[in-house]
Structure 1
Amino acid sequence: MRIKLAKQHFAVNPLWLCLTLTAFAILINLSWWQLNRAGEKTAQLQRLAALQTAGALTPAQLAELEPAAIDGAPLSGEARWLAPYSWLLDNQIVGGQVGYDVIVPVQVEGLTPLLLVNLGWVAGGRDRRQLPLIEIPERIRLDGLLRTEVSGLMLLGQNAEETGSWPMRIQQVDYGELARISGLHLLPVLLYQQQSTEFISHYQPVVLPPEKHRGYALQWFLLAVAVVGVALAAAHQGRVQDE
């Protein structure tokens, strides 16, 4: 099939036309998705900045506020670790080295349920059968960021390795499962310590900034344009001769 466009002849193969349009639509959708993600990240950063400006919550406020108001808010206070309960969150990479995040339940004055705290990162050993030795202080000065929604990777079928001893290795933070294993009343909130003397704090609430997503959106858009350009160049048969 031959068509004339802007005084140019193009030989169009229906199959290649379909493939080109499909690829173009996919790439444009990817570009649009990245733009939407940039908007979401911008709104998230603005919300976190507003919460930081409002000041840190006190532990007593956690029981009074809805999860939507808690998520992303800073918290400060004093707490006591409930020994020996502790978990090692697997597959955490810092500086190119694989290790664990140390998760512990703490008792906070003014708060009835126990609060889960991510104390920070510790390096893992070469032998996965040997868990790292960790020293957790009995008294902990809380200074971190609260998150109600936490994600993780389930690389294995079982989340927690219930060995009957502590610390216990886990694949992701599941509030219900950790409460069941420990028998403790846990608040469904995780505090990420921003500063730690015993461990390495590495948590970032927004991993990819909006600028990165906008850059990816531009890349997908340019690829879509390139697909159309290559298809037109391949189908071009020359200029229409004036009659």
Structure 2
Amino acid sequence: MSNTKSRSPVLSWIAFLATLAVVALCLRLSWWQLERAEEKRLWQASQEEKARQPAADLPALLADPAPLHRQAAVSGKLDNARNVLLDNRIRNGIAGYHLLTPLQTRDNQWVLINRGWLPRGARREQLPEIPAINGRITVAGTVYRPSRETFVLQNAPLPDNQWPLRVQKVDFDAIGEKLGVELAPFEIRVRPDLALGGHPPLPRPWQDIAPMGPDKHKAYALQWFALAMAALLIYVAAAVRNRRKTREEHS
């Protein structure tokens, strides 16, 4: 009987500290989601401001210290002989590539144009047919720069004189070295409805990806706050019940 009584305060303190830890964690996660919501709100405002700006040509984009997601209108000729295939791009459960073609402007500036998605062949060594686009064209789209932290299984050096060049990630410096030119440090993702060179538009799956908005983060914040309150209420209810039980045992 004495051992049970001596353990009771210890268990009460353990339950109190465990509840405190759970409540603190849930409140911290709730606050973090609110911070993310504010970041997303500012990001969306920035994107809306960029969308209202007129489309910029390549010199203007290169002069912009933060051109990401800006509207672009770039004119030049595509280098049909030296395409780049970005591997492991999945669309609707089908493996394929993003097709990036170098474009040369009148000023001899170069940028990669992401024309869209191509399915992989029945065998890996079978590369897809790439429609050639001849003559001078104007590409309308948005500026995109992939993360430098893209995970790949093996960072193998790019092969020499092997076109189309199949890559696991877009390294603008390495690809520019293979092309023998200085590439812009970003790509232009073509507008979804834009047909190039009279060919039907390729699927452009990046247009279907909608980032999580601030309202979603606020909903998650509310859920974490509710979990914190639930943990606190469960502890209080258990403590009241235990105290009532103790009184009954001593009465």
TM-score of the superposition, structure 1-length normalised?
0.78
Asked if residue 37 in structure 1 is aligned to residue 33 in structure 2, the reply is: no
Instruction: Name the larger-Rg structure.
Output: 2
CA shift, 1:178, in A, is 1.9
CA shift, 1:233, in A, is 4.3
| 1:1-243 → structure 2 map (5 Å cutoff) | 12-63=11-62, 65-68=63-66, 70-110=67-107, 112-139=108-135, 140-148=137-145, 150=147, 153-158=150-155, 162=159, 164-195=161-192, 196=194, 197-204=200-207, 207-235=211-239, 236-239=241-244
Separation of aligned partners in 2, 1:98 and 1:152:
22
Q: Is the 8 A contact 2:146 2:170 kept in 1?
A: no
Aligned CA RMSD, in angstroms, stands at 3.3
Partner residue in 2 for 1:7: none
1:153-200 residue CA offsets vs partner (Å, 9 max, x unmatched): 424122666374222222222222222333321011221111343411
Partner of 1:223, secondary structure, is helix
Q: Is the 8 A contact 1:159 1:170 kept in 2?
A: no
Q: Is the 8 A contact 2:117 2:204 kept in 1?
A: yes
Q: Is the 8 A contact 1:99 1:123 kept in 2?
A: yes
Q: Is the 8 A contact 1:160 1:171 kept in 2?
A: no
Q: Is the 8 A contact 2:112 2:186 kept in 1?
A: yes
Partner residue in 2 for 1:5: none
Q: Is the 8 A contact 1:153 1:172 kept in 2?
A: yes
Separation of aligned partners in 1, 2:56 and 2:201:
24
Q: Is the 8 A contact 2:152 2:169 kept in 1?
A: no
Separation of aligned partners in 2, 1:147 and 1:122:
19
- One-letter code of the match for 1:237? N
CA shift, 1:137, in A, is 1.6
CA shift, 1:149, in A, is 5.5
Q: Is the 8 A contact 1:45 1:206 kept in 2?
A: no
Q: Which runs of 5+ in 1 are unaligned?
A: 3-9
Q: Is the 8 A contact 1:59 1:109 kept in 2?
A: no
CA shift, 1:241, in A, is 5.8
1:114-136 residue CA offsets vs partner (Å, 9 max, x unmatched): 11121111223454343323224
Partner of 1:157, secondary structure, is coil
CA shift, 1:143, in A, is 0.7
Higher strand share: 1
CA shift, 1:12, in A, is 4.7
TM-score of the superposition, structure 2-length normalised?
0.76
Q: Relative to structure 1, is the Cα distance of residues 101 and 221 closer, same or farther in structure 2, using a 3 angstrom cutoff?
A: farther
Q: Relative to structure 1, is the Cα distance of residues 43 and 99 closer, same or farther in structure 2, using a 3 angstrom cutoff?
A: same
1:40-95 residue CA offsets vs partner (Å, 9 max, x unmatched): 222122122112222111233234x2322x22210113221123222222332333
Q: Is the 8 A contact 2:160 2:178 kept in 1?
A: no
Higher helix share: 2
